[in-house]
Amino acid sequence: MTHVAIIMDGNGRWATARGRPREFGHRQGAESVRHVVEAAPDLGIGTVTLYAFSSDNWHRPAAEVTVLMKLFRRYLKSETAELVRNGVRLRVVGRRDRLDQQLVRAIERSEEATSGGTRLLLRLAVDYSARDLLVEAVRRAATAPDVERNSLANLLGQAMHGGGPAPDVDLLIRTGGEQRLSDFLLWECAYAELYFTPVMWPDFGAAELAEAVREFRSRHRRYGRVAVAS
């Protein structure tokens, strides 16, 4: 099954262009999460990883960070039952020691409630930094001199909440027109196909996801090998 990772970009710019506060864009972005999660399984997607809050996002204005954390708690409260009904398992990856303890407990409750889901794995990256995880994995590897790719992937999984190594990313989507990875799943994206779209995240829905998947299916992935003529 395909693993799609999405950098959800453009919420603030989308709201500003409409003369609304950035908070309005973040609220609308939460609606896009729902649309993507609902559409993903029928497109052959088994795992979706959404970049919800990077470790560098702590440098944003405190008021905006507070809004984002409140929206995250609200999403967990309002969507958990729907995730259970739709067979979606939720895992939150990234640091938790800097999150409010009420939010951490809400995460744990949602993860437990959705643990039986088999139709889709939804991973939300919160306080996530791929570089920090690589540093932590290397520290752990210092006591394992025979480390190699698979064992380092396991160490990366141990270094973050969410349990175990993440599957390699097949398709990385970034909305909002920017064309960079921004410290997201650097190890897992080694052979990911990259898809950049000018569509802002609040306008990204099932149709836009389907178009990205169609583009992905049309590409030839050689993993460094030479294409064999048919």
Domain contains 226? no
* 115 CB-contact burial (10 Å; exposed 0-12 / middle 13-18 / buried 19+): exposed
Q: Which long-range contacts (CB under 8 A, 24 or more apart) does 58-64 make?
A: 58/98, 58/127, 64/22, 64/23
Q: Is the pLDDT of residue 163 over 70?
A: no
- The predicted-structure confidence for 31-60, as pLDDT tens digits, reads as follows 999 999 999 999 999 999 999 999 999 999
The reply to whether 57 belongs to the active site is yes
Domain contains 124? yes
What's the confidence (pLDDT) of residue 144? 64
Output the domain CATH number for residue 127.
3.40.1180.10
Domain contains 222? no
Read off the amino acid at residue 144. Answer: A
Rounded Cα–Cα distance for residues 48 and 211 (Å): 16
- The predicted-structure confidence for 190-230, as pLDDT tens digits, reads as follows 999 999 999 999 999 999 999 999 999 999 888 777 665 54
CB of 158 closer than 8 Å to CB of 140:
yes
| b/e per residue 142-163 (b: at least 16 CB within 10 A) | eeeeebeeeebbbbbbebbbbe
Q: Residue 122's beta-bridge partner residues?
A: 48, 90
What's the confidence (pLDDT) of residue 164? 63
The reply to whether 9 belongs to the active site is yes
Domain contains 99? yes
Q: Maximum distance among all alpha carbons in the chain?
A: 58
Mean pLDDT of 67-80: 94
Domain contains 230? no
What's the confidence (pLDDT) of residue 227? 61
Mean pLDDT of 129-137: 89
Domain contains 224? no
The C-alpha torsion from 38 through 158 and 66 to 64, rounded to 10°, is -80
Active-site pick, 9, 11, 127, 170: 9
DSSP-derived secondary structure letter, 106: H
Q: Is the pLDDT of residue 22 over 50?
A: yes
CB of 49 closer than 8 Å to CB of 185:
yes
What's the confidence (pLDDT) of residue 145? 64
CB of 169 closer than 8 Å to CB of 210:
no
Token code pair at residue 5 = 């990772």
Domain contains 205? yes
Active-site pick, 11, 57, 97, 170: 57
Single pTM value for the model: 0.92
**What is the number of domains present in the chain?**
1
Domain contains 140? yes
What's the confidence (pLDDT) of residue 228? 54
The domain in which residue 137 lies consists of 2-217
